[in-house]
Chain A
Amino acid sequence: MEKWARREDERLLSGKGRYVADIHVPGCLDAAFVRSKVAHGVLRAVDCTAARDVPGVVGAWSAADLPDLPPVPYTLLAGLSTEEAVAGREWSALVKDRVRYPGEALAVVLGEDRYRAEDGVAEVTATIDPLPAVVTPSAALKDSVRLFDGMSNVVLRGEAGEPVDPAVWEGAAAVVEATYRQQLLMPSPMECRTVLAVPDGDRLTVWSGHQMPHRLRRELAALLGWSADRIRVVVPDTGGAFGSKSAAFPEFVAVAHLAVKLGRPVRWIEDRLESMLVATRGRGQDQRVRLAADADGRLLAYELSIDADVGAYPHLGAGLPMQTAWMAAGAYTTPHVHATLRSVLTNTMVTYPYRGAGRPEAAIAIERTMDLLARRLGMDPVELRRRNFIPPDAFPYETPVGRVYDSGNYAAALDLALETLDHDRWRAEQARRRTDPDALPLGIGISCYVERSGGEAGGLHEFGSLQVTEDGRITARCGAAPSGQGHETVFPALVAKFLGVPEAQVRLIEGDTDEQPEGLGSFASRSAQVDGALFQHLANLLIEEARTRAAGLWELPVDQVAWTDGSVHTAHNGSALMDLGELVKHTGPLRIEDRFETGQAFPFGAHAAVTEVDPDLGLVNILQLVTVDDCGVILNPAVVRGQAYGSALQGIGQALYEGMQFDDDGVPHVASGFLDYLLPTFTEVPPIEAKDTHTPSPNSPLGAKGAGESGCIGTPAAIANAVADALPAVDPELLQMPLTPDRILRALRASTHEEDVR
């Protein structure tokens, strides 16, 4: 066995990893930000004078001190925002006159180190006249508190599918309705955000733990008014991202601007408290659903209305709820599906992609509602799903909300999940416990999800190259930027397989815009699907080029030159064998570059959970969790399963533990950091079995679909359904996530109260 399972492992296990905070640049200044303690208010004055006298402070600036400081850039990529939403709602990198979220930066201080910069921060004074804050969409919708004077808090209205004819609801045998709160979550990668800007002549090198280096380069170039080739963005080791590290954040704007202004290296290494205050959040939707079926349990119509909390500025993630709308139909053949949404500004840091990014919200809504319907119909939730699955022979399948699912076998995934869980045994145990007054109530929940990977139209491509040197070594480059997904291991192995050469002969370079001039990055579970297919395409081009060159060298027709295991040879008798290195020696430098595009892919799966609830303590105990995910053709099973397992725990986090909480004045409860916001630890890990089925995608030549977000998408509803199943007397509406002891106890008390009244 190789000493290291992944190429990344040796350095990361011996302290030789290189994250941005580890990079030593002589003379580098540390940035620290003065942050608003209120969620909403009118900024009257900021005074940095005293800060400038603090030893070790190099400068301190408010927005008034930096009239040329550009605003925070926005992107229309993947519909994250729209021109209409952004118009008139500029996001200043430092607050000019109005604070709109707690922690928003009022001033920046540069110091010789972070200690000195924070000394300076302590001396800056700011005067803010507080305004009432709104932190939920329902509060903000009233427009009684407006974030931008004279403008509505509703920045975007969207719709997918056609309105359902009222006759469908009237004629249905069963109609269920419900509301769900998809709470605000913190992505919480273990490495917070980082940026280091180093001026060098007329260029700027920017180091950042980031998912989209080329987008960062483009946005920084635009805000500096430079051509993109003057900026090099380098992504070294990145300590997790989960969707939260793909933008140019306000602090990045200030750092790049000051590095250029002063001609000195400047960095901002976000600390955890800052991250909890001002890093992007995920989820944040208030949903209303309505689902109708006939007496046999055949779905007739589904309606999903979303009020999405997009935070204080519509620049990031205003369009993200459309992802939810487009995925509303789930795994079912429901003939009528209609989703509508309003994106609403609130006094919180902006909502943005977090692992799943719109798909968990869709899956949780439909899957919880399927259980409500099963209960109403008196039908087994498993049978209800089976009756309505899109069958394997119906693909490609266009849903009423406009997605074209590529391939799937939803029943097979559910079968494997139930078999792995030993579903019948748990049902028997549940029946036994219901007759035993001393037993804790037990519930079984399933969740069958479909998601989307690869990205949106216009962003389904990637750029890359394969270069061969005279020693026969192959360097692969592409625009992806990993944050723990093992690309250095997976992609060279893939290229080696395509070319028939030893893996050790191939290396990968990613995350450097000077090495790879164009690229999109790593998001939307796209790297295996899109970059993997790109490398297959490049390998084919390389083989063709090698054969053409050999044919020229040997004065033969190309069709008489064959390729086997990394070498060209004559097709008829295998003579004149020449490996890639020799070929380059004889024919000159060899570099194949191209762009490759795949279609969207639709991974799916079935998750099943068994929970018991302690009615005295309100504690939910997960006895077993099974995840069955199908991401098509798997490139590296250990890597994919590792991500499936890890994302399942993040899904458990949403179901049971995590969620932003706010004071009445809109300030989040984060003063005690990770003691206020509870990430799952090993103590909370239940028995998890991660399995997979393999239905190739016809939309990518490799057949790979995206992996790694499955647990966040599929797991929460399985757990919530299991808790509801354990507590049949409790109104499921009261079982909103996170299902903390407090929430469970309140739900139990409310139902006891109702029973008493009856």
Chain B
Amino acid sequence: MKTTLKVNGTDHVLDVEPRRVLADVLRDDLGLTGTHLGCEHGVCGACSILMDGEPIRSCLVLAVQADGRSLRTVEGLTGPDGEPHPLQRAFSAEHALQCGFCTPGFLMVAAGAMDADPDLADHPEAMDHVVGSNICRCTGYGPIRRAVERAAQERRTA
């Protein structure tokens, strides 16, 4: 089935089997392997990406459902000048990753929240919800929570 995916600003016209989930198409057809599959039933959030700015579990969306939509994955976080996103710097500074497998999902739900709410840093409960939406088995989440706040503060003062 002919499907057009706009991923990180680039259009890809693909012939996609209707049953294939978006995460598999991103990973296998487009080589964007930064999106990871952790549970494949929408709970862990490792596969989170942004679709038209909204966070989605890319394991629960068929690729054909994303036809014509604008998608953003972890590969699209870094600025065009190669400058890291504030979240990327903050995650490193706060040791908010260890094995790194869940990390792209956390980055994307946080990026979506920061874009939706420029004053995210003023809304601790909203930041709690962002961190509470995914599963990490290494860090214990505290460092991730600090990193999200740090990036949100930086974005606001920038």
A residues apposed to B, CB below 8 Å: 1, 3-6, 8-10, 12-19, 21-22, 24, 113, 115, 188-191, 237-240, 242, 271-273, 483-486, 638-639, 642-643, 645-650, 672-675, 679, 681-683, 685, 688
Which residues from B are CB-within-8-Å of A673? 39, 41, 43
Interface residue SS majority, chain A? loop
Specify the chain B residue showing the minimal Cβ separation from A484. Answer: B99
Interface-forming stretch among B50-58, B60-68, B88-96, B115-123?
A: B88-96
A24 and B31 in contact, given A19-B36, A191-B99, A239-B99 (Cβ under 8 angstroms)? yes
Residues of A within 8 A of B137 (CB): 188-190, 240, 242, 646, 650, 679
* A190 in contact with B92 (CB, 8 Å): no
Contacts of A679 in B (CB 8 A): 135, 137
Q: Are B140 and A646 in contact (CB under 8 A)?
A: yes
Give the nearest-CB partner of A192 in chain B: B38
Contact between A688 and B92, CB atoms less than 8 A apart: no
With contacts A22-B33, A483-B99 taken as known, whether A113 is within 8 angstroms of B28 at the C-beta atoms is: yes
Nearest opposing residue in chain B for A486, CB measure: B98
Contact between A484 and B100, CB atoms less than 8 A apart: yes
Are B98 and A642 in contact, with the CB atoms below 8 A? yes
Q: Nearest residue in B to A674 (C-beta to C-beta)?
A: B43
Enumerate chain B residues within 8 angstroms of A483, measured Cβ to Cβ.
99
* A190 touching B93, Cβ below 8 Å: no
Per-residue CB contact flags for chain B residues 93-133 toward chain A (1 = under 8 Å, else 0) read: 10101111111100100000000000000000000100110
6 contacts between A and B (CB under 8 A): A10-B84, A14-B34, A17-B101, A115-B17, A237-B99, A682-B141
Q: Report whether B101 and A190 are in contact in the complex, using a CB–CB cutoff of 8 Å.
A: yes
Q: By the criterion CB–CB under 8 Å, are B99 and A240 in contact? A: yes
Partner of A681, one of B103, B132, B138: B132
Q: How far is the CB of A217 from chain B (nearest CB, A)?
A: 22
Contact in complex: B135, A5 (CB < 8 Å): no
Q: A5-B93, A272-B39, A272-B40 are in contact. Are A645 and B143 (CB under 8 A)?
A: yes
Grouping DSSP codes into helix (H, G, I), strand (E, B) and loop, the B interface class, with mixed when no group exceeds half, is loop
Q: Does B73 contact A (CB under 8 A)?
A: yes
Interface size class of B (residues with CB under 8 A): 35 or more
Once A5-B93, A9-B92, A19-B36 are accepted as A-B contacts, the answer to whether A674 and B99 lie under 8 Å apart by CB is: no
- What 5 new A-B contacts, CB under 8 Å, besides A646-B139, A647-B140? A13-B74, A13-B103, A115-B17, A191-B99, A242-B137
Q: Which of A191, A271, A639, A681 is the one whose CB lies under 8 Å from B135? A: A681
A19 cross-chain contacts in B, Cβ below 8 A: 33, 36, 101
Measured CA separation A638–B94 after assembly (Å)? 9
Which of A272, A273, A639 contacts B38, CB < 8 Å? Answer: A272
Which of B39, B77, B92, B140 has the most CB atoms of chain A within a 10 A radius of its CB? Answer: B140
**Measuring CB to CB, which residues of chain B are less than 8 angstroms from any residue of chain A?**
17, 19-20, 27-28, 31-41, 43-44, 46, 73-75, 77-78, 84, 88-89, 91-93, 95, 97-104, 107, 128, 131-132, 134-145
A657 CB, nearest partner CB in chain B, Å: 12
Given contacts A15-B34, A239-B36, A682-B131, contact A8 B100 (CB under 8 A): yes
In the assembled complex, the Cα of A273 lies from the Cα of B43 at a distance in Å of 12
Bound CA span A673–B59, Å: 14
Candidates A15, A18, A238, A638; contact of B95 at CB < 8 Å: A638
- Contacting pair B99 A190 (CB below 8 A): yes
Residue pair B140, A648 in contact (C-beta under 8 Å): yes
A18 and B102 alpha carbons, distance in the complex (Å) = 13
Q: Which of B88, B137, B139 has the most CB of A within 10 A?
A: B137
Q: CA separation between A113 and B142, bound complex, in Å?
A: 38
Alpha-carbon separation in the docked complex, A3 to B90 (Å): 10
By the criterion CB–CB under 8 Å, are A5 and B92 in contact?
Answer: yes
Q: Per a CB cutoff under 8 Å, which of A6, A642, A674 touches B143?
A: A642
CB <8 Å contact, A13 and B135: no
How many angstroms from the CA of A1 to the CA of B90 in the assembled complex? 12
Q: Which residues of A contact B77 (CB under 8 A)?
A: 13-15
User: In the complex, which residues of chain B have a beta carbon less than 8 angstroms from the beta carbon of A189?
Assistant: 99, 101, 137
Rounded to whole angstroms, the CA-CA distance of A21 and B32 in the bound complex is: 12
Which chain A residues border B95 with CB–CB below 8 Å? 5-6, 638-639, 642
Residue of A nearest to B145 (CB): A682
Question: Across the interface, do B97 and A15 meet the contact criterion of CB distance under 8 Å?
Answer: no
Decide: B132 and A683 in contact? CB cutoff 8 A: yes
Q: Contacts of A484 on B, CB cut-off 8 Å?
A: 98-100, 138
Determine the distance from Cα of A681 to Cα of B135 in the docked complex, in whole angstroms: 6
Interchain CA distance A638-B92 in the complex, whole Å:
11
- A272 surroundings in chain B (CB, below 8 A): 38-41, 44
Chain B nearest CB from A196 CB (Å) reads: 13
Query: In the docked arrangement, what's the CA distance between A679 and B104, Å?
Result: 19
How many whole Å from A7's CB to the nearest CB in chain B? 10
Say whether A237 contacts B100, CB under 8 Å. Answer: yes
> CA separation between A21 and B31, bound complex, in Å?
11
Which chain A residue has the least Cβ–Cβ distance from B21?
A115
- Which 5 residue pairs spanning A and B have beta carbons closest together? A15-B34, A239-B101, A484-B99, A12-B100, A22-B33
Give the residues in chain B near A645, CB-CB below 8 Å.
139-140, 142-143
CA A649 to CA B143, docked complex, whole Å:
12
CB distance from B152 to the nearest CB of A (A): 16
Measured CA separation A10–B77 after assembly (Å): 12
Looking at the assembled complex, report how far the CB atom of B86 sits from the nearest CB atom of chain A, in whole angstroms. Answer: 11
Q: A645-B143, A646-B98 are in contact. Are A115 and B132 (CB under 8 A)?
A: no
Tell me which of B35, B98, B141 contacts A643 (CB under 8 A): B98
* A239-B99, A240-B101 known; A13 vs B142 contact (CB < 8 Å): no
With A239-B101, A485-B98 already in contact, the answer to whether A15 and B75 are too (CB < 8 A) is: yes
In the bound complex, do residue B32 and residue A681 qualify as a contact, i.e. CB atoms below 8 Å apart? Answer: no
Shortest CB distance B148–A (Å): 10
Q: Chain B: which residue is nearest A237 at the CB level? A: B100
Residues from chain A with Cβ under 8 Å of B43 in the complex: 673-675
For A643, list chain B residues within 8 Å (CB). 98, 138
> How far apart are the CA atoms of A486 and B100 in the complex, in Å?
10
Q: With a CB–CB cut-off of 8 A, which chain A residues contact B75?
A: 14-15
**Residues of A contacting B140 in the complex (Cβ-Cβ under 8 angstroms):** 645-649, 685, 688
**A490 CB → nearest B CB, Å:** 12
List chain B residues, Cβ under 8 A from A242: 137
Task: Give the one of B32, B98, B132 with max A CB within 10 A.
Answer: B98
